[in-house]
């Protein structure tokens, strides 16, 4: 007896009239325009801890180089990012309402409790939405958003929230390497030696949490890398790129520019 292969599941009819078809096109065009503006704007001339893993990318940002033109937008990635933002806000809101004084106001922490090591403490702080705080340092130039700071058993912890697609989350046993680089950068700037990275699966909402400790030596390495990239910008010499084939390069907005620099 023969078996017929299972056909891929049909997505169904996407519209049933001219009006409904035109409305889908209208909304897709709105998203296309919105995402294009987000993808192709010129970044501020600062380090971004989320992309600190690549010195060359930091070099392009500090020089104010515009990202490559991208003719197509990956709507699934943009939708995932939107879901990630919603998950962040829900976690932050729940923690702030439930744990009381263990949730530490970032501005108070920086100005009163635990001043950062960067001299001469030249930075600005502003709220970025209801619960997130955006911090900008000027020497070295760094801009980032802090998910939260916790006080647990008398010690301060950086809280970093990450969301993940299901397959990646399922096999996760430790913090992802690129997230460790990012968190070390945050901790160095905030003069924090401990961090908790909380992962949430975007499909079912399951959670995993890992503690990271950052040593004084590692903090010093972070600042030395920043000063190295700043010297590269000053001398107009691009730092070494990541190894060819590195997965990080797949989603980089500077692929064409990077090739031009060798």
Phi-psi region of 195 (alpha: psi -120 to 50; beta: other; left: phi over 0): beta
CATH number attached to the domain at 77-237: 3.90.320
Average pLDDT over residues 3-13: 51
Among 83-97, 125-139, 207-221, the minimum mean pLDDT is found in: 125-139
Those residues whose C-beta lies under 8 Å from the C-beta of residue 258, and which sit 6 or more positions away, are: 56, 60, 241, 249, 252
pLDDT tens per residue across span 32-46: 877 766 655 566 899
Contact status, residue 124 vs residue 141, Cβ threshold 8 Å: no
Q: How confident is residue 17, by pLDDT bands cut at 50, 70 and 90?
A: confident
> Tokens at residue 141, please?
């130039």
Axis crossing angle, helix 18-40 with helix 75-98, rounded to the nearest 10: 70
Average pLDDT over residues 86-115: 87
Contact status, residue 218 vs residue 195, Cβ threshold 8 Å: no
Return the higher-pLDDT residue of 153 and 119. 153
Contact status, residue 169 vs residue 160, Cβ threshold 8 Å: no
Q: How confident is residue 7, by pLDDT bands cut at 50, 70 and 90?
A: very low
Q: What is the structure's pLDDT at 192?
A: 93
Average pLDDT over residues 189-197: 94
Q: What is the structure's pLDDT at 4?
A: 39
Q: What is the structure's pLDDT at 70?
A: 67
Among 1-15, 43-57, 140-154, 175-189, the minimum mean pLDDT is found in: 1-15
Q: What backbone phi and psi angles, to 5 degrees, belong to 6?
A: -70, 130
Nearest in space to 181 (alpha carbons), one of 147, 212, 150:
212
Mean of per-residue pLDDT scores for the chain? 85
Dihedral angle, C-alpha 194, 57, 84, 69, nearest 10 °: 170
Q: How confident is residue 5, by pLDDT bands cut at 50, 70 and 90?
A: very low
Kind and range of the H or E element at 162? strand 155-164
Q: What is the structure's pLDDT at 66?
A: 86
Return the higher-pLDDT residue of 62 and 133. 62
| Domain segments of the chain as ranges | 77-237
Please list the alpha-helical segments (H only) found in 99-172.
106-108, 166-170
The whole model's pTM is what? 0.83
Burial class (CB in 10 A: 0-12, 13-18, 19+), 172: middle
Q: Is the pLDDT of residue 91 over 90?
A: yes
pLDDT tens per residue across span 219-253: 999 999 999 999 999 999 999 999 988 888 887 88
Q: What is the structure's pLDDT at 38?
A: 60
């Amino acid at each position: 007896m023969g078996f017929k292969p299972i056909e891929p599941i049909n997505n169904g009819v996407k519209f049933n009239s001219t009006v409904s078809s035109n409305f889908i096109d209208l909304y897709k065009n709105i998203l296309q325009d919105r995402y294009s503006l987000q993808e192709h704007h010129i970044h501020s001339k600062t380090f971004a801890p989320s992309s600190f893993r690549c010195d060359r990318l930091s070099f392009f940002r500090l020089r104010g180089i515009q990202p490559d033109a991208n003719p197509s937008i990956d709507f699934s990635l943009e939708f995932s990012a939107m879901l990630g933002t919603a998950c962040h806000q829900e976690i932050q809101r729940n923690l702030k309402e439930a744990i009381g004084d263990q949730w530490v106001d970032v501005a108070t922490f920086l100005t009163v409790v635990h001043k950062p090591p960067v001299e001469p403490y030249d930075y600005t702080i502003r709220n970025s939405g209801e619960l997130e705080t955006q911090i900008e340092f000027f020497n070295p130039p760094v801009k980032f958003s802090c998910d939260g700071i916790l006080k647990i058993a008398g010690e301060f912890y950086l809280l970093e929230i990450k969301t993940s697609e299901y397959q990646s989350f399922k096999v996760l046993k430790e913090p992802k390497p690129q997230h460790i680089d990012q968190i070390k950068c945050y901790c160095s700037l905030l003069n924090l030696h401990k961090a908790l990275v909380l992962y949430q699966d975007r499909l079912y909402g399951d959670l995993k949490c890992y503690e990271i400790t950052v040593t004084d030596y590692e903090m010093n390495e972070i600042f030395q890398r920043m000063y190295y990239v700043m010297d590269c910008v000053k001398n107009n010499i691009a730092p070494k790129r990541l190894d060819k084939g590195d997965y990080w390069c797949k989603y980089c907005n500077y692929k064409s520019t990077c090739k031009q620099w060798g």
